[in-house]
Structure 1
Amino acid sequence: MLPRPHKLSSSADFKAAMRKGVRAGSRTLMVHLHHRADPVIQGGPRFGLVVSKQVGNAVTRHAVSRKLRNVVVQRELVDRLGRECDVVIRALPAAARATSDELARDLEHALAKAEKKR
């Protein structure tokens, strides 16, 4: 579970990250990485998940969401990224069949690509 200071909560923050951020993808997910001009005073980096109905039914979507949250915590992305980062992780339909290890590899790969584009 991500602590509250590390969650994107408002739709305006999601939209800003997706419109202004750098986009990079992999087989199972798409990452939007946005570096805000004003760093968050407390908390940060902030993460948001988008798991649409294209991924599957409610049970599948919740399973994918749990896996992605767990990957963010286990890979210590909260400690590695800067406080000014907003990251939106959008699951693609292939994520429904992916294991946690595959999602972790794809997330690392997509974040590395996004950092290079920045």
Structure 2
Amino acid sequence: MQTEYRLKRRNDFRKVFRTGSSVANRQFVVYRAKRSEVGTIRVGISVSRKVGNAVTRNRIKRLVKEVVRDWAPDLPKNTDIVIIARNPAASMDYKEVQASLRHVFRKAGMWSKKENSIL
């Protein structure tokens, strides 16, 4: 995922948690908050140590980044998103991660109806 799409600073994460709304399923929790500054969507990924060791956590982060990288142009601008992985995400492959994130993003209203038909 390119640098312009990353959410890195602790204060940015806190702002999303404080001002945003959340949607969840068994594998992921997605927090979404609108930004006042004009720009692209920014995404932060959080995977707790409870999910697994470093290899497992980094694998989940790589899969999520790849899925979101493909969707970034279609997601709403001026938005910050934090994706939190839960335990069941540790045993998922790419297609399962993609399907689960698609489900959560649809629940969060991240796509218009036209874009929903494509995905």
* 1:59 matches 2:55: yes
Look up the match of 1:114. 108
* Alignment correspondent of 2:2: 3
Corresponding residue pairs, total? 110
Name the counterpart of 1:104. Answer: 98
**In the alignment, is residue 33 of structure 1 matched against residue 50 of structure 2?**
no
Q: Give the structure 2 partner of residue 93 of structure 1.
A: 87
Higher RCO, 1 vs 2 (CA within 8 Å, ≥6 residues apart): 1
TM-score, normalization: structure 2? 0.86
Distance apart, 1:25 and its partner CA: 0.8
Match of 1:14 in 2: 13
**Letter in structure 1 aligned against 2:66:** N
- Asked if 2 retains the 8 angstrom alpha-carbon contact of 1:49 and 1:88, the reply is yes
Query: In 2, distance between residues paired with 1:81 and 1:35?
Result: 12
* Aligned-pair Cα RMSD in Å: 1.3
Letter in 1 for 2:95: D
One-letter identity of the residue aligned with 2:77: R
SS for the counterpart of 1:9 is coil
Runs of 4+ off more than 3 Å: none
Q: Deviations over 1:6-64 (max 9, x none)?
A: 00011111111122111011121111111113323xxx200100011011011110111
Runs of 5+ unmatched residues, structure 2: 111-119
Residue 115 of structure 1: SS of its match in structure 2? Answer: coil
Counterpart of 2:116 in structure 1 is none
The answer on whether the counterparts of 1:28 and 1:98 sit within 8 Å (CA) in structure 2 is no
Tell me the percent identity: 31
Alignment of 1:49 with 2:45, yes or no, is yes
Secondary structure of 1:105 counterpart: helix
Mean CA deviation greater in 95-104 or 31-40: 31-40
Consecutive unaligned residues of structure 1, counting only runs of 5 or more, are: none
